[in-house]
Amino acid sequence: MFSTTYGFQIGSQSFENVRITWGHHFGKERRWSDGWGLMIEAPIVFELLDRIDAGTITVSATRDVLGQVTRDMTEHCDRQHDNEEAQAVARCFGDCDDCKQTEAEFIRYDTAKRDRAAKARNHENYPYIVTSRLAHAADCRHVADVARYAGVYDRSNEERFRALLKQYTHRDRRLIEIDHEPLDWDGLERWADGRTGPQGGRYYRACKVCRPQVP
């Protein structure tokens, strides 16, 4: 977010120290309107309306000047102001074509994470949590976040759902997610077998903090 003061002139009228702020995330209704993302102080809005009403400035001249001010501010603050794809993503509210195509996949992803979280909370039936090559006890502090995941697929809060769908689609949170899998003993044995070489070499190990029993 960036805020500064502007001085500008409309016809013969001067306006000094007008506060304008860039970087606001406004609602989707006017996402393609001029000035989206910028905020101008309320007092100058009332002053401009009063002078228009008094006939000292015109609507068209006021719009032209404010349009130039917002363009200048945007070019100064937004390095991707001329990148159409970046602007489309900035104005996406989880409702663009890419998000619509990803929605079903996102729901499956969220469901799978919730299922893992439910298993991770069930220490009696799933006493282990593994990553690619490391086994933990289910109550190990290093894997505590797995059990905390509560899911996001709640269409009673459509705005939050769409915001998270946008994150999933455009920032690809999957790439930074570590895949943790809750397992019972049989599952842990299969996991270990898949990481044991033909000569008996182990390509896995137990966490040094919680020290679970491993095959």
Name the domain boundary from 33, 67, 90.
90
The count of C-alpha atoms lying within 13 angstroms of the C-alpha of 136, restricted to the half-sphere facing its C-beta, is 19
CA distances (Å), origin 160, targets 156, 163, 166: 9, 5, 10
164 & 189 share domain: yes
In the chain, the number of structural domains is: 2
Q: Residue 70 corresponds to which amino acid?
A: T
Neighbours of 186 (CB within 10 A): 8
Average per-residue pLDDT in the chain?
Answer: 90
3 state DSSP class of 37: coil
Q: Do the domain assignments include residue 214?
A: no
Q: Give yes or no for a contact between 151 and 122, defined as CB atoms under 8 angstroms apart.
A: no
Q: Which H or E run contains 181? A: strand 181-183
128 & 65 share domain: no
CA distances (Å), origin 176, targets 92, 168, 171, 182: 22, 11, 10, 19
156 & 182 share domain: yes
pLDDT-derived band at 26 (thresholds 50, 70, 90) equals: confident
61 & 123 share domain: no
- Look-up: residue for tokens 């002078």? 51
Name the domain boundary from 90, 118, 152.
90
Q: Do the domain assignments include residue 54?
A: yes
User: What pLDDT, on a 0 to 100 scale, did the predictor assign at position 177?
Assistant: 58
Q: Give yes or no for a contact between 23 and 5, defined as CB atoms under 8 angstroms apart.
A: no
Q: Do the domain assignments include residue 67?
A: yes
Q: Do the domain assignments include residue 7?
A: yes
110 & 194 share domain: yes
Of residues 101 and 110, more confidence is placed in 101
102 & 83 share domain: no
Q: What is the pLDDT of residues 65-79, one digit of tens each?
A: 999 999 999 999 988
User: What pLDDT, on a 0 to 100 scale, did the predictor assign at position 62?
Assistant: 96
User: What pLDDT, on a 0 to 100 scale, did the predictor assign at position 190?
Assistant: 96
What's the whole-model pTM score?
0.66
Q: Where are the beta strands (DSSP E) in 12-158?
A: 13-22, 38-40, 128-130, 134-137
Mean pLDDT within 129-148: 93
6-10, 14-18, 58-62, 80-84: which has the minimum mean pLDDT? 80-84
Q: What is the pLDDT of residues 144-191, one digit of tens each?
A: 989 988 776 666 788 888 988 998 899 866 544 557 999 999 999 999
Q: Do the domain assignments include residue 212?
A: no
Burial of residue 206 (CB within 10 Å: 0-12, 13-18, 19+) is middle
83 & 124 share domain: no
29 & 102 share domain: no
134 & 167 share domain: yes
Query: Which structural domain range is residue 111 located in?
Result: 97-206
